[in-house]
């Protein structure tokens, strides 16, 4: 279904792109392309190429795990079985989509605001948040909460309210009510809900005299039990498998301007096991994951 009838477009991308062995990982290399990755073999297939800029990508699976929504001069949806795609929401700066649990709603943003769209019937509403918070990378949980990275804006000296380097993980109801800050760590980004909606993982950025550390952390949905998940200081993005028994993590590769995907088992108590690389490194410096 398309939310903008005058701008809808259908495009063929060629042969089917989704690996057939198990649920694939959607891996978006920002400003480059979107892959579907077989978590067992690391085999990569290009679902979308030619992403325009670093605001493009952020691919997420629809609940059927067949279609991907992503940003690239608007919110698009691609059928990974046929390669056809269509425009869901027009708008050059729109990106970072996330489906509601039933697949009938879609949230997305532009780096300053978040909108929620009902897909049937068509209805789009802007979520009202405090003017000193810029929401980025929303993620919709199975418990109907939306988590996002909230970048702190400085409105003390300018009416334009420039962004600061401070950000935390927040959660809210889909209409923007019941807004809660989950972290107070200085800089947190790339939130992803656990499958049961009880926890949010995120990348914590820590500046030191020796450089910037990027670590994988997790917090409970009520803001408690904050702790680090895995070792390593070059984490780019991560996500749980749909059943919660595995975790995918993207880190900086061994060579400059490359990234590496790894998979680890997750125990029933939430403990994350040893990460093992899957597939070869791939070009890029920034990425997002959806499994």
Helix and strand totals (H; E) in the chain: 0, 25
The CA radius of gyration of the chain, in Å to the nearest whole number, is 18
Q: Which residues contact 93 (CB under 8 A, 6 or more apart)?
A: 55, 110, 111
Q: Mind listing the pLDDT tens digit for each residue in 129-143?
A: 999 999 999 999 999
Whichever domain contains 63, its CATH number is 2.120.10.30
In this prediction, residue 9 carries a pLDDT of 36
Residue 120 — pLDDT band, cuts 50, 70, 90? confident
Stretch 1-27: mean pLDDT: 49
Closest CA to 27 of 64, 67, 57: 57
Q: Which residues contact 276 (CB under 8 A, 6 or more apart)?
A: 262, 263, 264
CA 100 to CA 284: how far, in whole Å?
29
Lowest mean pLDDT among 7-21, 94-108, 239-253: 7-21
Q: Mind listing the pLDDT tens digit for each residue in 53-99?
A: 999 999 999 999 999 999 999 999 999 999 999 999 998 899 999 99
In this prediction, residue 287 carries a pLDDT of 97
Number of domains in the chain: 1
Residue 283: CA count within 13 A, CB half-sphere: 3
Stretch 239-258: mean pLDDT: 97
In this prediction, residue 121 carries a pLDDT of 74
Q: Could you list the residue range(s) of the whole structural domain that residue 112 is in?
A: 5-290
Tokens found for residue 30: 């920002």
In this prediction, residue 22 carries a pLDDT of 55
Q: Which residues contact 156 (CB under 8 A, 6 or more apart)?
A: none
In this prediction, residue 76 carries a pLDDT of 96
Residue 232 has pLDDT above 80, yes or no: yes
Residue 6 has pLDDT above 60, yes or no: no
């Amino acid at each position: 279904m398309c939310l903008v009838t005058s701008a809808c477009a259908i495009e063929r991308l060629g042969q089917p792109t989704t690996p057939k062995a198990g649920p694939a990982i959607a891996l978006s290399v920002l400003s480059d392309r979107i892959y579907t990755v077989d978590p067992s073999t690391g085999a990569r297939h290009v679902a979308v190429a030619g992403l325009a800029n670093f605001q493009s990508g952020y691919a997420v699976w629809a609940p059927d795990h067949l279609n991907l929504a992503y940003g690239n001069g608007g919110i698009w949806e691609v059928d990974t079985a046929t390669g056809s795609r269509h425009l869901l929401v027009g708008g050059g700066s729109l990106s970072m989509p996330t489906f509601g649990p039933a697949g009938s709603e879609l949230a997305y943003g532009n780096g300053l605001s978040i909108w929620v769209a009902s897909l049937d019937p068509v209805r789009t509403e802007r979520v009202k948040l405090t003017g000193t918070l810029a929401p980025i990378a929303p993620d919709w949980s199975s418990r109907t909460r939306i988590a996002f990275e909230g970048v702190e804006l400085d409105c003390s000296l300018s009416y334009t309210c420039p962004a600061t380097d401070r950000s935390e993980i927040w959660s809210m109801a889909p209409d923007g009510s019941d807004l809660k800050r989950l972290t107070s760590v200085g800089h947190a980004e790339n939130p992803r809900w656990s499958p049961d909606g009880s926890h949010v993982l995120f990348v914590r950025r820590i500046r030191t005299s020796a450089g910037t550390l990027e670590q994988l952390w997790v917090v409970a949905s009520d803001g408690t039990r904050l702790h680090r998940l895995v070792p390593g200081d070059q984490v780019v993005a991560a996500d749980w498998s749909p059943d919660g028994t595995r975790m995918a993590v993207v880190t900086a590769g061994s060579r400059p301007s490359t990234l590496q995907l790894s998979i680890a088992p997750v125990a029933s108590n939430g403990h994350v096991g040893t990460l093992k690389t899957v597939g070869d490194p791939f070009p890029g410096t920034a990425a997002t994951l959806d499994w």
